[in-house]
Structure 1
């Protein structure tokens, strides 16, 4: 097998694996019998949360250029658009829950909810907004690149940790094993990118 064919086979395996990791929990959630008792708004809100978790899988990989077949510039543009999509998914998720049960959402936002998963969800939500805002204001803030990277990386780490804990604590339409696999891969992928890129390290100027 030539090097080109090996590279193509590797790319196909990577994309197929990522696709399965995302599609299996989404399919399991769609087939959940619990949906029969839920209102359409609640179902949309729930699936927005599932989509948000799926986007978290791809975001760090796109930022680091780890996804095969994507030129760096295209990967960065896709990273930006998926970041916007992530914010929209979070807003839809929270808005849908607000429509179906305003008191629960108020308690969560005030950090007085008796359910721990709500607290972690709110922490992740604010971190998503913070990371998106920091990315959008990058040029206007005129922060040193190292400082900006450290801030963005810290917020992303909070997003991932908060989202994973939130998802694992929720007993809903997502199937447990496929959800755990998705959350585990999101954690590992994000950790690898953070360690590899080392936002906290000083970059030596090129000679």
Structure 2
């Protein structure tokens, strides 16, 4: 890939990840908030950004990181994503346990909570599937992993869009849009639907 194009892709990705964090850091909503709550919020933003990075790695779209070498980075980013989710939920638990309990039991009055919980369990399921990769048929594993990842990305985007928090509206929508676009592109390029057709056949 020509160097200018590679620089453009990496610059666009860096901007998509950094801008929401910068905007959130300048938000007046952070005033009077506990440090743990702020850290939990930023962990959620980082998790959303890592979803985009993970999807791009899975498709081998990042210059200098083709599919095979990118798999090692993919695993590392997956661990970081899992930790970010744990920090996000754990921080919210420390600041307001009743709200987290309501979210986990799907009794929260805020509609974004349920989507966040589904996304969280999806991340855990994706991590479990990653650990069981060598014990499953390749076709079954790819189909299951792709399905779980699709659920994680979609529910995470809905969760983020519904929250009126520190993330700027434009930067948040751009990041969410890129995550969805990357997901669709990967599913198309990897022809995941063919695995489903073969399985039914």
Alignment equivalent of 2:89, drawn from 86, 94, 100:
94
Runs of 4+ in 1 over 3 A off after TM superposition: none
* Equivalent position SS for 2:192: coil
Alignment equivalent of 1:196, drawn from 185, 189, 192:
189
Aligned partners of 1:146 and 1:200 also within 8 Å: no
Gaps of 5+ in 1: none
Residue equivalent to 2:10:
15
Tell me the TM-score normalized by structure 2.
0.94
Aligned partners of 1:146 and 1:199 also within 8 Å: no
Tell me the TM-score normalized by structure 1.
0.92
Residue 33 (structure 2) pairs with residue 33 (structure 1): no
Partners of 2:53 and 2:21 lie apart in 1 by 15
Partners of 2:48 and 2:36 lie apart in 1 by 19
Alignment equivalent of 2:136, drawn from 118, 136, 143:
143
Gaps of 5+ in 2: none
Partners of 1:192 and 1:23 lie apart in 2 by 23
Aligned partners of 1:26 and 1:50 also within 8 Å: yes
Alignment equivalent of 1:182, drawn from 152, 159, 175:
175
Shift, 1:72, TM fit = 3.2
Partners of 2:65 and 2:109 lie apart in 1 by 44
RMSD, aligned CA: 1.5
Shift, 1:200, TM fit = 3.6
* Cα-to-partner distance string for 1:112-155 (whole Å, 9 max, x where unaligned): 1111100000000000000111011111xx22211110100000
Partners of 2:179 and 2:59 lie apart in 1 by 14
Shift, 1:198, TM fit = 1.7
Partners of 1:129 and 1:26 lie apart in 2 by 24
Task: Answer with 1 or 2: which has the greater Rg.
Answer: 1
Partners of 1:60 and 1:159 lie apart in 2 by 11
Residue equivalent to 2:111:
116
How many residues end up aligned between the 2 structures? 197
